[in-house]
Structure formats: structure tokens, C-alpha cells
Amino acid sequence: MTPSYPVSRPRRLRRTAALRRLVAPVSVRPSALVQPLFVKEAIDEPQPVVSMPGVVQHTRDSVRKAAAEAVSAGVGGLILFGIPALKDDRGSQADAADGIVQLALADLAADLGSQTVLMADLCLDEYTSHGHCGLLTADGEVDNDATLERYASIAVAQAVAGVHVVAPSGMMDGQVAAIRSALDSAGFPDVAICAYAAKYASGFYGPFRDAAECAPQFGDRASYQQDPAARDAMREIELDIAEGADIIMIKPALAYLDVISQAAAMAGLPVAAYQVSGEYSMVEAAAANGWLDRDRVIMETLTAISRAGADIILTYWATEVAQRLS
């Protein structure tokens, strides 16, 4: 029997690719993508990261080329992670004027100026001999307040080198306030803070720890990163906003789409999400075995993260995807 009233047919707007593009409320924009880059001291050529096919530890020269390629493709920003030649219990190279990230930031600032957004990871795990994100007490626990002093110093060093956005990822209580105060006092009130406000103690970080050479030498980071089973992300986000964060970050992305959605609904600030190394490597490994359509899954995952409410997505596919979309 034919209904006597108009019938809504959602499939009408799915009939062709052109119609689907026209009405799609969500899209992945190159300018919303951030390319993570690893730069390592004391190497002569880029070193492949075995657990992350297609990703390398860069030299100072090669990171400049990779950055230029990303910017040319339309990627919105770059985030640097440094791997020093020497590590100690304080992570001294994290804020050294001649530390690898400071040198690379200065190079990229000179090369690219205001053509892109230069971000830098602000943490200690890549720089400490023990692999934890802060200074340790005599009992081997992370000393929250002593670590804040180190973070403040690192933020200023990165600002001097030319960073536009610092990204504290250590999940120390009070880190945003300490960094904001230090930047303002040092004459860098315009340097923004992208706070890893909800960074979970996740199993998806394994390949990153290969790339950044920062696996903890003992214990884990569960005492300062968030518990995946907890529901305290919004509290952490609210605290970071109150302390002066300009952008808030959720990490990882795919397993925490609900948190991204909640954050987008309440934060009132740009929301970033980090599509982490494990997410990347799973897709690359499955695609290499012919188990899935690599390009389709890349775009599907990025679309899902954007649909959940992320304004900015950090992804190891940023340059590739931007080139594809241009």
C-alpha cells in the first residue's frame, strides 16, 4: 500500500558520489592535520622505524625536507619529537640551547616562518635515562612539582627557538599553569599551549616508544596517565582550561572517540586528537598482508575522528592524506 503522505528516503542523498560529497557534514581538511616528525641527534641519514613502516627518525637536514613537503601539501602544522645522543636522569637536553629539538625548531622557523604552525612535544621521557616523563624521587616515583620546574624551563627554551605551540604531554598536575606562567614571565605570551589533557595509559603507544626511544626502564606510566576505565577526562580537561590551555588534546583517538565527543561538546576550545603509533601500525600491517584496503581505512579513521568532534588531528599520514586531497 502506498502511503498517503510524503516518505523521507535518506538513500536519495546517497545515490551518487557527487550527492554524498555535497551533503556530507564532515570532511577531512589538510589544514586541520598535524604531521609528527622525529628528529635524532648524531645520525648521518634518516633511520627507518621498523614498527612504523614509512616513518623515520630524521636528521636535521632531512626533517627540513619532510617539513617543507608537508607544508607544500597543505598540512596545517608540524610537531617535533627529539631523540638526544645523551640522556641523563634530569633530561638535560630537553631544554639545552643546543638540544636537538631547539636546533630543529630554529631551522624550521627560518625555513618556513609563518607558513605553518610549529609545535613541539614538551615532556622528558625522550630525554631521561630512565624513560619516565619527569624527575624521580629517591623511591623511584615521579616527583610532580619538581617536574613542573623542568617543564617550565623546556617551554621557554622551545619558545626562544621559535615554537608557536608547546604541547605538554606528561600529565603532571598543574603543568599548564606552570608553563603559562613561565612563558608569560619570559616574554612569550603569544606562544600557545596544546595540553594533552586526556592522555591515557594505553597499549597503543608501543611503536612510538621505538621511534622516540623512550620506553620506561622500569615500571610504567599508569600512575600519571589516565586509566582507560576511568571517567575523569572532563575533570582533567576543565582543570587544563582553567590553567590557561589554548587547545586540549585527547590521546589516543580511535579508542576514545566518546571522550573526543564529550570534550568537543563542553570545552569551548579547539579539540585535538592524536591518531597514535599503534593505530597507524595496525593499519599498515594489515594492509601489507592484504587484509584491508589501506587508503580507504586511513580516510575512514580520520573521518571518524573528525566526526567525533576533533578540530585538529595529529596523524602520521598527514602529508600523504593532504597530497591526496589537494
DSSP class per residue in 75-87: --EEEEEEE-S--
Helix (H) or strand (E) holding 301: helix 294-308
What distances in angstroms separate CA 240 from CA 32, 108, 222, 318, 325, one per listed residue?
A: 22, 28, 19, 27, 34
Biggest CA-to-CA distance, the chain: 80
Q: What is the mean pLDDT of each run of 10 residues along the chain (326 residues)?
A: 67 84 87 97 97 98 98 98 96 97 98 96 94 90 94 98 96 96 98 95 92 82 84 94 97 97 96 98 98 98 98 97 95
| 3-state SS record for 19-63 | HHHHHCCCCCCHHHEEEEEEEECCCCCCEECCCCCCCEEECHHHH
Distance CA 312, CA 293 (A): 24
| Nine-digit cell string for 175 | 603543568
Tell me the C-alpha distance between 243 and 264, whole Å.
18
Look up cell 597530497; give the residue: 323
Q: Quick one: 255 exposed, middle or buried, by C-beta within 10 A (0-12, 13-18, 19+)?
A: middle
As annotated, the active-site residues are 199, 251
Residue ranges and CATH numbers for the domains of the chain are 28-325 (3.20.20.70)
Contact 173, 144 (CB under 8 A): yes
CA dist 202 and 189 (Å) reads 33
- CB–CB of 176/244 below 8 Å? yes
Q: In b/e form, how buried is each residue of 141-150, taking b as 16+ CB within 10 angstroms?
A: ebbbeebbeb
Are 13 and 3 contacting, i.e. CB atoms less than 8 angstroms apart? no
Residue 230 one-letter amino acid: A
Q: Could you tell me the sign of the dihedral formed by the alpha carbons of 315, 320, 322, 325, in that order?
A: negative
Asked if residue 248 lies in contact with residue 262, where contact means CB atoms within 8 angstroms, the answer is no
Closest to 275 in 3D by CA, of 33, 62, 81: 33
- Phi first, then psi: what are they for 137, rounded to 5°? -80, 175
Give residue 175's pLDDT: 96
3 state SS of 112? helix
Q: What is the pLDDT of residue 10?
A: 79
Q: pTM here?
A: 0.94
H helices within 118-196, ranges in order? Answer: 144-161, 175-185
Residues 211, 52 contacting (CB under 8 angstroms):
yes
Residue type, 203: G
- pLDDT score recorded for residue 6: 67
